[in-house]
Chains A and B, each alone.
Chain A
C-alpha cells in the first residue's frame, strides 16, 4: 500500500510540475472527480470510468497537438502521468475497499467462531443458539423438556458495569456447569437455557440466583425482571417468544 501511495505522489508531482492555467485545472478536476466517484462506485464500474477517462483524454491529444514531434512527446508524457494517477486512485480505492470487505468477512467469521463473550464465560449468542439446538435435538428424542429463563437487569448509570459483572458471575455460579447455557443479549438481558428440567427446577434456579444476589446488594427491591418460557415456545433467532408465555 505504501508503494502505491508513493507512486501516486510521484505521478502527481510529474503531472503538475510543468502545468499551468487551464491544463492544471482540467487535470485536477479529473483527479478529484475520479476520487469522488471511487467512493460510490464498485471497483468494476469505477474501472469503466477510468478506462473512459484514459481513452477520451488520449484521443483528445489529437486536437491539442501542433504535430511537432516535441509537442507530441510532451502531450504523451502528460497523458501517461494523468492515466497513471487515475489508475493509481482506482487501485488504491479498490485495495482499501477489498481490505474493508475482507475485514468485515473476517469479523463475521470470528463472531461465528467465538464461543465466549469477551473475557467472561458467557457464551456468544451464535454459540448459544448452536449448542441449544444440538441439546434440543437430543432432549426431544428422549422426550425431555427444556426451559428458557430471560433475565433483564433494570439498572442504568454508574453502577451498570459493576452490577452486570456481579450478575454474570452469579448466573454462572447458579446454573449447572457443562449442562446449562448462559448468554447475554441486547446489552442488558441474559438468556439461560436449562436442560431437562421443569417449572419447579426453573424456580429453584431463580431462587438460588436471587438469594446469592441479595448477599451482594443492599437494595430491598432487586432491579431484575425475569420471564420463563418452555424452550419450544421461544424463537432463538428473533430472541422473542413464539407466543405469550406465563410470567412466573
Chain B
C-alpha cells in the first residue's frame, strides 16, 4: 500500500514537471508570434475602473497614465474612491475638473468591504459596453486599452481580454527584483502558454477587460471572494467563454518592497484560491469544459501538491529516524534536479522574451529556486491555517490592501 502511494506521488510530481515544461515551451512560442496590426470599423465604449483606497502616494502617476491612454472610441475613467482618508479624493478631483474623461466616484459604505464591492458599485453607476480594471497604483501603457479591445472584439466567444502586469519598482531591492521575475514567468509566460496550448486565460485582477453583459449574466463580482479575479475566471470559463491573453497590453504596477507586505498580500491571494478550491468541491460547474483546467490547477497546486509534499517529507524523516519504510527504485535526485531546471528554465525564458537578461537577473534567477520559491510553501501553510481557523470560527476573512510606496523613494 505504502509503495503504491509513493509511486502515485512520484507520478504526480513528474506530471507537474512535464506540464509546466510544456506550458513554458507553449508560452515562448506564443510570445514570439508576430503581432498583427488591427483596426476596427467601430470601437465599443469602455469604462476604466480604478478602485482606490488611500492611494495618495501613487494616484498622481496613475492619473497621468490614464490621461495618456489612447483609444479610438468612447473612453471614460472612473476613480472609485472607497472612503479614502488621505488626499486621494483631492488629487482625483483636481484631475476630474481639468480632464473630461476623468470622473471621481465616492463609493458608499457597504457591509462587505473590498475590491469586489467597489467594482460592483462602479458597474451599477456606469453603462459602457466594456469595462476595464486597473489597480490604484497602475500605470498602463498608452495602447493598453486599444490592444485589449482588439483582442476581445476579434476572438470568438470572448468575455473580454487580459493584459500583462509589469513591475515598476523591480530595481528597488532584491525582493522586488524576484517578484518582477516571478511575474514575468507566471503572469506572462504561463498565461501565454495556457492560452496558446489550452485556450484558457486567467483574469489578473488588473489590466483586464470584460464585457459588461457577461458580468451582468454572471451576477456581478462575488463580494466574499478575496481573489476576485481567480473566482471570476472560473465563472467565465464555466459559461464557455474565452479570455484571450494579450501580452503587448501592458500596465506597470508597484510590488511590495518589504517581505512583511509581500507575505500579507500573498496570504490573501492564496486564501482566495483556497476559497475557490472549497467552492470547486461543492459545485459541479467547476469541472465542466475549460473550467476543468482552472479547477485542476487549483486542485494540483493547493491540495494535492501540499498533501504529497507532506507525505514525502514524512517518509524522508521517518527513514532518517530508522523506521523501516518500503523502498521504491526511483530517481529522486534527478526529480529534484529537473524541478530546478524547469523552474530556472522558466525564469530564463521570461528574461529572454522580456529583454531583461542582465547579469544581475541571471544571478537572481539561479538562486530563486532555493530562496523565493520556498516562500510559497510557508505562505501556503499560513493561508491554510488562516482559512481553516476562519472557517471554524465562522468568520469572514477581511480584505487586506497592499501597501503602496512613493515612486522613486526606493
Chain A residues in contact with chain B, CB under 8 A? 42-45, 47-48, 51-52, 54-55, 58-59, 61-62, 65, 67, 69, 72-73, 75-76, 79, 83
Contacts and interface: CB of A to CB of B under 8 A. Distances in A.
B345 A59 contact: no
Interface stretch (B20-28, B161-169, B312-320, B377-385): B20-28
B342 A67 contact: no
Contact of B25 (A48, A62, A73): A48
Contact of B331 (A43, A45, A52, A65): A65
A118 B28 CA distance: 47
Contacts of A48: 25, 28-29, 32
B338 A67 contact: no
Contacts of B18: 59
A62 B32 contact: no
A44 B32 contact: yes
Contacts of A44: 28, 32, 352-353
B334 interface: yes
Given A47-B352, A58-B337, A58-B338, 11 more contacts: A44-B32, A44-B353, A48-B32, A51-B24, A55-B24, A62-B334, A67-B331, A69-B333, A72-B332, A76-B334, A76-B337
Contact of B334 (A51, A54, A75): A75
Contacts of A58: 337-338, 341-342
B349 interface: yes
The 10 A-B pairs of least Cβ separation, nearest first, read: A72-B333, A67-B329, A65-B331, A44-B32, A47-B352, A55-B21, A48-B28, A76-B337, A61-B334, A67-B331
B341 A51 contact: no
A52 B18 CA distance: 12
Nearest to B328: A67
A55 B341 contact: yes
Nearest to A61: B334
Interface in B339-372: 341-342, 345, 348-349, 352-353
B349 A47 contact: yes
A135 to B, nearest CB: 38
Interface in B291-331: 329-331
A42 B18 CA distance: 26
A62 B333 CA distance: 10
B32 A45 contact: yes
24 contacts: A44-B32, A48-B28, A48-B32, A51-B24, A51-B25, A51-B345, A54-B341, A54-B345, A55-B21, A55-B24, A58-B337, A58-B338, A58-B342, A61-B331, A61-B334, A62-B331, A67-B330, A67-B331, A69-B333, A72-B331, A72-B337, A73-B333, A75-B334, A83-B341
